[in-house]
Structure 1
């Protein structure tokens, strides 16, 4: 059994529990920084894709995981950030200015969406954001002079301090760029949860009536949550555009929004770790299925057969399994396993019994 004795109130709001946990994160950071030296170009590209998905998951986690506002329209903000970044670069704006500006513009767009959505809850908010994601597809086509319409746009490498960073030409440098954004977004998220604003997000998620009784401005909190969520998602969209190279209105379809929501549910709602664990599942699942089909074809004879919808079918089965048997996601299961070892032999199953009751103040939501 390992026990951490707290001697200061500041220990309750530290980003990490103790020096041991900090050392584990630093070792993990060193391993991923050195990834270009122990991974080939293909798997390095897949790891880069996972990190981009993780950034998008962090953006949605702010809104859904910690503020409790369900969204099925974050593909629209991915598209907004992607196109804003490319259009600014084409206008001659340096990447180091265009990239943060694309996130800020996406955050402003999120505020405009939040204003009419403040009175919506649950399934109604999800339908509203879903309609927004579908509408973005048509807006990209209608704004052809700016977005390129159905033909889309092409984005090669970007220059950073006179050095070309390209997805295909210099995959190592592009990976480090994505990793740097991921680390900054994660550190910002960790510190956000330590602030009064971050605690307000959690209070609104748990009970809007109780949060309002404590003096929290519900409308302001939701609006800021939408803004921050969309800004982070916009940065993920900008990196996604650079990763893809070429994109159009079909790149950011409503399926991406559904995948994002399923990703954070499988990873673990309400946890930063859940965004990364879900990104690993959604990033490596297609490659796992491809390798499994090739292995099955070699084992049983015959070539590999393409099965339409196999990836989404398996992903849906995984989601249903987690909802039924582990609602806390992968990270929730890890917490139970870790707690079992830490408290052995005093661990009890009822410590993590699923809560089925709800507040009387929330029955009309």
Structure 2
């Protein structure tokens, strides 16, 4: 719970505190805690500039770069990477420049795939097969990208360990998601449908990413787990939803898992699970309305009644939530991430 000066002023009007006590308490709180960083125009400029740089050297890279000689591409990408890393490291120790410093180091992480690609192209060394032009890295699944992803993952984890800047977890989580797809043709060469295998690999990798993010969430004060949760949900939910399930039992199991994601969002206090869970529930309800109950007049009425019941349960919970949470807290609090703890 965040306390504002207006809360103390209200306490004075209610005769809970006198004005002198309110002033003394506010002064003490201000000296004890650092002020919250507010998202301002400065932050927008920082992040927008960083994203433009990242995009320029990754997503929006043109064919002209691939026509460069491999040694020139290696020197240019290595110079960019090293330059952003050194400048970011120098700025990191100046508290007023901590955000741009962290963004510069994040940019260097995002440049790692291009640098490793240039090195591999110069040495003609690929873990699976030559994946082609670099700009295809973000659009085509290929086992040849695996070494680039592995080195990027390692460099990102090292940077997170050294600098603890939450946004650095974004390229780490993204490259893990890419890795889940590009690893499939390496592990299952010529064994069955590659499309089916990728769905299962995506599901398994998503679960691993969510579990890893949970462990990070429990052991860090900084919010570095957000991107892991996001891309973990994308990988897990995408693989789960694309799995072929022709039986009603498998579709109901998919629905139940999505209800579990909604419950998980409450436990972890993470809205990303709520978003994917709700999408899954809506997909199942659409299936019921368009297939099983397409000729039923009562389905919409029954569904509306269930919606009203949920709203009523929400009203009841709002009245008694303190008592319920007080009884549940001793059992679940020790498993919750730090940011959800009082």
Fold equivalence (TM over 0.5):
no
Q: Which has the higher contact order (CA 8 A, sep 6+)?
A: 1
Query: TM-score scaled to structure 2, two decimals?
Result: 0.31
Higher helix share: 2
Query: TM-score scaled to structure 1, two decimals?
Result: 0.29
